[in-house]
Structure 1
């Protein structure tokens, strides 16, 4: 795994093929903290055949839409992945289940949330898979970490870079690194 924020736009990476996964947690479960849980989730990604190529720092933000819930920790990784996005999503759901993720109420507190943000330049809209992620572009706790590791990545539909989207994000405006 590369170091946090490793790499440089100057090196000219080809973000057109990037497979981007967002991680989040606001319930530590059996772990000492959400950060410890997220670090362990990174190991599970590698073990499940999604090796992490780049990762952001962990960001913190108030829970949304209910700020009285525990604060979130979020980050973004770029992984090496199989060519089929559905298989990546299935792997992410499987890892969430290992961390006792309970899918029920939308935006409820959770141990682990893994979202497939983009799989290359693919644009997909089916009942069970939408790419790019339909709300990621407006979430600072996704675009902020992504702009840390891939500021020049361009949204496949909007055409804007992660850096521009982070500056425009309206949800999670309090998100910050560390």
Structure 2
């Protein structure tokens, strides 16, 4: 059953939307706490910012920790997944996510460098393909345990739009971030 992030209790009225074909899925990550006390604090502040930006969080996974990828010498990542509801189209949502990253101090000076906040649009319903430069679903999400593990936690029966497998099944076969584990 889905978790309601407002009271962390079960949310039966939202379960269909959370794991359904219309699910909008955002992955969150941080491995540089910046001015916050911890990477978890960064991510929780980002979720609060979602709400302020008119992005309703329907379900939020636990936070997961994994070695940095592709360079495990970088600080470890804290990741999670949110299923959200928004009136924004995919491009407008991506622009909003980029503004949020920037507000949290995200710098793009080196590929895969440590970052305060990384927000990836994993899926926008069943949309797939290259949508004017935006590729959906996220092309590497299905192989990343730090994405599919949290997704399997909140919507185990969600079916990946192109892999045609559930989050639960994909989490069992992920090859990237295989060390990802729930925190706590």
- Asked if residue 101 in structure 1 is aligned to residue 96 in structure 2, the reply is no
Per the TM alignment, residue 84 of structure 1 is displaced from its structure 2 partner at its CA by: 1.1
Unaligned runs of 5+ in 1: none
User: 142-151 vs 64-73, which deviates more?
Assistant: 64-73
**Aligned alpha-carbon RMSD (Å):** 1.6
Judge which range, 126-135 or 143-152, deviates more: 126-135
Q: What is the alpha-carbon distance in structure 2 between the residues aligned to residue 165 and residue 109 of structure 1? A: 26
Q: Separation in 1 of the partners of 2:124 and 2:102?
A: 22
**Using the alignment, how far apart are the partners of 1:7 and 1:159 within structure 2?**
25
- Aligned equivalents of 1:93, 1:68: Cα separation in 2: 26
Give the aligned partner of residue 88 of structure 1.
93
TM-score after normalising by structure 2? 0.90
Give the equivalent residue in structure 1 for 2:63: 58
Paired residues for 1:21-60 under 5 Å: 21-60=26-65
Q: CA deviation at 1:124?
A: 2.9
Distance, in Å, in 2 between the alignment partners of 1:129 and 1:172 is 24
Q: Structure 2 regions of 5+ residues with no counterpart? A: none
Instruction: Compute the displacement of 1:12 (Å).
Output: 4.8
Equivalent of residue 129 in structure 1, options 125, 134, 147: 134
Q: How many residues of Structure 1 are paired with residues of Structure 2 in the alignment?
A: 176
From 138, 142, 150, the equivalent of 2:143 is: 138
The 2-side partners of 1:55 and 1:141 are apart by: 14
Matched, 1:76 2:81: yes
- Does the residue aligned with 2:21 lie in a helix, a strand or coil? helix
* 1:137–1:99 CA distance, 2 compared to 1 (3 A): same
Query: How high is the TM-score relative to the length of structure 1?
Result: 0.93
